[in-house]
Chain A
Amino acid sequence: MANNFQIERSDEGGIRILALDGYLDAHTAPQFENAIHDEMQAGHQRMVVDCARLTYISSAGLGVFMSFIEELREIGGDIKLAAITPKVYQVFEVLGFPALFDILDTTQAAVAKFADTTPREA
């Protein structure tokens, strides 16, 4: 089945990059949830979610970010968000995400941020 939500995974300087593409809603949220779960199982604690091609996010999609962040931070990891389009940023902003997550303009900046900061307090 073709799908209108895709996740591409890559690695940059020891940081996992998850590039989201398409609609992240109640249908596709489990896919994203599994992806993060797999990364954690594989021992990856530091991730950057690249939202450049994320066109829509619903509350179920936002729930995925929250369900892992505390656990990740407890073991010294973090999720940072990058390259969010204005439309999607507005959704994050309304919910108060900028207070909880590091949100950067580019994935490179997000990767660099890992190098010079300790995880934020949730």
Chain B
Amino acid sequence: MRTANWLIPCGAAVSMAVMAWLFPAKDIYARLFQPRVTRAEAIELSRALGAQYGVDTSGWTWAATAETRSEQTAARIAYPDSAVLQSLNPLSFRVLATAPSGESMLTIFDPSGRPTAFQRRSVNAPRGAASEGAAPPDLLQRELERYAGARSGAFELTSSGVASQEGLRTAWEWRDPARTGILARFELVTRNRTVIRATYSTETAFRLLVHSRREQQQVTGALIGGLIGIGALIAFLGIWNFFSRMTTRMDHVRFGLAAGLLAAAPILSNWITGTIANQAAFASLDIGSSAATIILGSVTGSVLIIVGVGLLLASGYALLPERAKPHWVALRLVSQRQVLAAPVGREITLGLLGGAALAGLFYLPSLIPALTGGYVQIAAPVFLMNPAPAISPLSGLTTGVDLLALFAFFLPWLQARPWRGWMINAAFGVAGMIIVTAIRQPYPREIAASLIACGLVLAALAAIYRTTGVLAIWFCTVGLLAAKQAATQLSAGTPAYSAEGMQTALLWLGALLVAAMVWRFGAQVDEHAVIESMQPSGSSISRSDRDRLLAEFAVARRAQEGMLPLAPPAIPAYSLAASCEPAREVGGDLYDFLPFPGGEWGLCVADVSGKGVPAALYMTLTKGMLVSAASRAADLPLIASRMNRFLTEAGRRRTFVTMSLGVLDAPRGVFRHIRAGHNPPVLYTAQDRACRYLMPKGIGLGITAGAAFERNLEVEEIGLNPGDVLVLYSDGLTECMDTDRQLYGEERLCDILRRNAHLNASGIQDAILTDARTFRGAADPHDDLTIVVLRAEARDSLR
């Protein structure tokens, strides 16, 4: 447990070193995309380009996004020596400027900042084919050089000034001299000597890509098919599970929705930073609906994501087996808004670090010689689209839901099955590998490398989970994205990117520091109390089984109650009262009144160690032994040692019984008693209004069969005068706990006894029970509670 506290940070440090070494050579950003222009710089370039074409963009709104073209990626990797293909980077920035009037300008740049496309859209575009105002040759040459750069000399004019609906279209082509079927094309459309559209593109003939494309489609097809199948299955199981419990388990839903609110953090931050408005602008450009419609759709989607995560957590929580509960403590605290509790700080700290540790694992398969052809692609270029790139790793809280589902729903679901451990591990490993590989697919071109990388990551996640919990797993994705993003930004090598990289790293470090402070200085929480406060799952049994068990428990409880005396015996000049409240359906406490020879009465309170069904079985055994032993002898030590012998043999020392047994000689006012490891009875004497605890020596029953038991058993004799009160009780009374785990204690018992000693036995009993219940408050009764009260009354008061 404790080793994880330093092992995970060490893993993170090693992973950083691995990344520093492998990232520049293996990551797609460093190897192929090589971004040198940030989002802000791309917008600035677009503004400048617009100005050159006479577009005044002051007062316009800006949006920017990054896009990767997978076909170009595949072509570039298939033909790395083709200068034509190398002339266009598969990663591009699209910058959109929109005027209040609706006029717009779309520019596209490659990662180095070279424009690759320009398009202007007017609200009142002139209709009809343009036929005049042909662009002068120097304008055409200037534009070709602007878009084609140093390669412009290789381009040949293929059409010139062809009239079209857009305007006059001129096109150039650059054919790959070594390979037919690969070419670059530049198109320029002008109207009245003004540039309306410019497009630089590359083309690769279908036949040249057939091999790699088919391979890729097969892989992706199979993975996506598997993913959809598994996703649908999990969704179905989750919904089925959730709805089958909906009527009785609103507490689970409340827990899920409260904890699921964490998923709102990245969505909210995207709203605040304008990422959603940015996406909406592009969506309205690409699919043509209005930005308002798209934003509405996005709000609905966000709510669905939060509710979906909530239901996922609720379903997992409903299934939670006992052994999984410790892993949910931090999330449970989050759902109760106790985010400043130390366990929450610990899991977030280790999650952020654990995520960074995972990042390096993705690169390791690239060290296998047979797999070195692949490049690593962990995440989509989200940060290039975010107006505040440093906070974009937070999006891991929503994009990492697949991993959360794996640990927060699928694992508890497996653990609730009556399967062997290895079957659960195998099923979890297989499903986990498929999910992680299908969604992450870090080596898009090499399925074997993807499987190895995802296997490593899944194993590391499982190790992190074992030592932390689901909250840490959830934050792993944030740590992973932060490490990967900082590496990308810092490796770009431009000052603007380095600054962004530092911001990302500092923000991650800041979050880590805050979490670590909460871990170190946050509220200490009693984790057992949190675990106990989680609802019993009952999920491994069906509802009909549960109903049957509940019915059987009710029968067992009645049977147990039947073993207790119906009413205390009437003893002249004494009042007597007794009660026994089991903490669960059945209990291990017992009290009894036994007729002794010569009109004496035996009073007994016994407590079996443990609680629930095992204790209840022992309680019935003890009752039988007590009655049997007392019927054969009236001698207290003899009864006790007979019971001790029986119980030592039956219990094999793992279960023991403590017992207070006394005999009242009513006419003489004498009480003789033994205390076999039981809580000392309390005696209130009316004369001095004082309480004292009676503690003759004695060892619990069933602990030792040796002579030590008899040798250490004392019989104590006390006198009872009118007004004196004797209380026998089990530790369920003095160790009754309130919500802060404070004990009721012996002093409180004395106190309440002194204040109510003038009442008769049942009045005193009610006063004690009421006081203990008030003290306990909302806390669960954690042990059975039994008391027997005996009061010596004034002789003339009875009869």
State the A residues within 8 Å of B (CB): 1-4, 23, 25-28, 59-60, 62-63, 66-67, 69-70, 94-97, 99-100, 121-122
Of A26, A95, A121, which one neighbours B699 at CB under 8 angstroms? Answer: A95
> A5: shortest Cβ distance to chain B, in Å?
9
A59 engages B656 (CB within 8 Å)? yes
Residue of A at shortest CB range from B615?
Answer: A59
Type the 1/0 row for B323-364, where 1 means its CB is closer than 8 Å to any CB of A: 000110100000000000011001000000000000000000
10 examples of A-B residue contacts, CB within 8 angstroms: A2-B346, A4-B526, A63-B610, A66-B654, A69-B653, A95-B656, A95-B677, A95-B700, A96-B676, A121-B708
Q: Given A63-B656, A95-B656, A95-B699, list of 16 further CB < 8 A pairs?
A: A1-B326, A1-B329, A1-B468, A23-B528, A59-B610, A59-B731, A62-B656, A63-B609, A63-B654, A94-B695, A96-B677, A96-B698, A99-B697, A99-B712, A121-B707, A121-B708
State whether the Cβ of B191 lies closer than 8 Å to any Cβ in chain A. Answer: no
Q: Known: A63-B656, A99-B699. Contact between A1 and B712, CB under 8 A? A: no
Alpha-carbon distance A97/B680, docked complex (angstroms): 15
B527 engages A66 (CB within 8 Å)? no
A3 engages B653 (CB within 8 Å)? no
Q: Choose among A1, A67, A69, A121 the residue with the greatest number of B CB atoms under 10 Å from its CB.
A: A1
**Interface size (B, Cβ < 8 Å)?**
42
Contacts of A28 in B (CB 8 A): 528
Contacts of A1 in B (CB 8 A): 1, 326-327, 329, 467-469, 527
State whether the Cβ of B679 lies closer than 8 Å to any Cβ in chain A. Answer: yes
Q: Known: A1-B527, A3-B1. Contact between A100 and B704, CB under 8 A? A: yes
Alpha-carbon distance A67/B327, docked complex (angstroms): 30
Alpha-carbon distance A114/B534, docked complex (angstroms): 45
> B560: shortest Cβ distance to chain A, in Å?
19
Alpha-carbon distance A100/B654, docked complex (angstroms): 15
Contact residues of B between 432 and 476, Cβ < 8 Å to A: 467-469
Q: Choose among A25, A69, A122 the residue with the greatest number of B CB atoms under 10 Å from its CB.
A: A122
Of A4, A62, A69, A100, which one neighbours B527 at CB under 8 angstroms? Answer: A4
B679 engages A100 (CB within 8 Å)? no
> B343: shortest Cβ distance to chain A, in Å?
6
B699 engages A67 (CB within 8 Å)? no
> B694: shortest Cβ distance to chain A, in Å?
12
Contacts of A97 in B (CB 8 A): 699
B610 engages A60 (CB within 8 Å)? yes
Q: Choose among A28, A69, A70, A97 the residue with the greatest number of B CB atoms under 10 Å from its CB.
A: A70
A122 engages B706 (CB within 8 Å)? yes
Residue of A at shortest CB range from B468?
Answer: A1
Q: Known: A26-B610, A59-B610, A95-B700. Contact between A66 and B656, CB under 8 A? A: yes
State whether the Cβ of B279 lies closer than 8 Å to any Cβ in chain A. Answer: no
> A106: shortest Cβ distance to chain B, in Å?
25
Q: Choose among A60, A66, A95, A96 the residue with the greatest number of B CB atoms under 10 Å from its CB.
A: A96
Q: List the 4 closest pairs (A to B, CB-CB), nearest first.
A: A96-B699, A59-B609, A1-B326, A95-B677
Contacts of A26 in B (CB 8 A): 610-611
Contact residues of B between 648 and 671, Cβ < 8 Å to A: 652-656, 658
